[in-house]
């Protein structure tokens, strides 16, 4: 929709070495006038590459994101990376509550909310991930689970300019399986109405991304669904050519 600028975000997860910076350079080169006119492009490489990636992206308009931040501002949290550190590295957005962290690292809705607040403290745009597991979908609980996650992961004060949501059905991540456009429309519509009831009219400007096995050949179909304002792309974001093809197909 005209009022919501499309966002195509890439999550490299725990992939990428210094040699992968050529992909970052290719993204910077490929984000041409046509793409700039129609969408925002964001790449989230691992933390070790952020500072070098920021140098490669400078002046290109491609935005840089983190994959996670610690809820605390600083202190005795060995291995932690704070929102301020991300900001200092040249980051403008941060993925929060990815299902791999919710599942494997027991990240609760309450922790996700604390991370959103930490991101806000340093002016970062949090991309909050929600989504049901296969078991939850099969039990008819997808709408209920996603509604609960949105309610409980978001602090007061969410607006179009300080929040992005990503709906990522867990069973679609890295599997090559995607929900039908009808299923995506149903969940995105649900998220939109939950946001509206929680935050009022401001919610209508909040972007809701779809994530889970987005590829160049299914991007156009998924991105055409009502209330889908972009994509969060995992595997297909590792190669600049694929990631740019997804952006162009949108
Ligand atoms: C993700 O992990 O955010 C994701 C959507 O992964 P993939 O595109 O590989 O399914």
Burial class of residue 62 in the structure, from the number of CB atoms within 10 Å of its CB (0-12 exposed, 13-18 middle, 19+ buried): buried
Quote the DSSP letter at residue 232.
E
Q: 126 in a domain, yes or no? A: yes
**3-state secondary structure labels for all residues of 20-62:** HHHHHHHHHHHCCHHHHHHEEEEEECCHHHHHHHHHHHCCCCC
Q: 1 in a domain, yes or no? A: no
- CATH number at 205 reads 3.20.20.70
Q: 114 in a domain, yes or no? A: yes
The model scores a pTM over 0.90: yes
Q: Report which ligand 1 atom has the smallest distance to the Cα of 231.
A: 5
**pLDDT tens across 74-111, in order?**
999 999 999 999 999 999 999 999 999 998 898 999 99
Q: 108 in a domain, yes or no? A: yes
Element (H, E) at 224: none
Whether 11 is in the pocket of ligand 1, judged by its Cβ within 6 Å, is yes
CA–CA dist 131, 167 (Å, integer): 6
Q: 123 in a domain, yes or no? A: yes
Parent domain of 222: 6-249
Predicted ipTM of the assembly: 0.95
Cα 169 to averaged position of ligand 1 atoms, centre (Å) = 10
168 tagged catalytic: yes
Per residue of the chain (250 residues), give pLDDT as tens.
Answer: 448 999 999 999 999 999 999 999 999 999 999 999 999 999 999 999 999 999 999 999 999 999 999 999 999 999 999 999 999 999 999 999 999 999 889 899 999 999 999 999 999 999 999 999 999 999 999 999 999 999 999 999 999 999 999 999 999 999 999 999 999 999 999 999 999 999 999 889 999 999 999 999 999 999 999 999 999 999 999 999 999 999 999 9
Q: Report which ligand 1 atom has the smallest distance to the Cα of 99.
A: 2
Q: 206 in a domain, yes or no? A: yes
b/e code 161-180 from CB counts within 10 Å (16+ = b): ebbbbbbbbbbbbeeeebbe
Ligand 1 atom 8, closest CA: 234
CA–CA dist 207, 70 (Å, integer): 23
CA–CA dist 226, 188 (Å, integer): 8
Whole-angstrom CA distances from 139 to 126, 143, 173, 237, 240 are 30, 11, 19, 32, 38
Ligand 1 pocket test, candidate residues 96, 168, 184, 246, most atoms within 8 A of CB: 168
What tokens does 52 get? 């070098």
Cα 76 to averaged position of ligand 1 atoms, centre (Å) = 31
Q: How many independent structural domains does the chain possess?
A: 1
């Amino acid at each position: 929709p005209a009022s919501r600028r499309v966002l195509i975000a890439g999550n490299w997860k725990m992939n990428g070495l210094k040699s992968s910076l050529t992909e970052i350079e290719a993204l910077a080169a490929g984000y041409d006038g046509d793409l700039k006119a129609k969408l925002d492009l964001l790449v989230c490489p691992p933390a070790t590459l952020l500072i070098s990636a920021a140098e490669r992206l400078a002046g290109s308009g491609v935005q840089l994101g983190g994959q996670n931040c610690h809820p605390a501002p600083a202190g005795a949290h060995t291995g932690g990376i704070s929102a301020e550190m991300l900001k200092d590295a040249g980051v403008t957005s941060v993925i929060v509550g990815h299902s791999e962290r919710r599942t494997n690292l027991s990240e609760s809705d309450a922790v996700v909310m604390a991370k959103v607040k930490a991101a806000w403290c340093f002016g970062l745009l949090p991309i909050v991930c929600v989504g049901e597991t296969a078991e939850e979908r099969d039990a008819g609980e997808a709408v209920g689970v996603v509604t609960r996650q949105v309610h409980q992961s978001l602090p007061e004060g969410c607006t179009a300019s300080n929040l992005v949501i990503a709906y990522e059905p867990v069973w679609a991540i890295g599997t090559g399986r995607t929900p039908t456009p009808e299923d995506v429309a149903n969940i995105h519509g649900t998220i939109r109405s939950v946001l509206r009831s929680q935050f009022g009219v401001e919610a209508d400007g909040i972007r809701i991304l779809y994530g889970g096995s987005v590829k160049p050949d299914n991007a156009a179909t998924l991105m055409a669904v009502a209330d889908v304002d972009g994509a969060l792309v995992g595997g297909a974001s590792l190669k600049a050519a694929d990631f740019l093809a997804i952006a162009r197909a949108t």
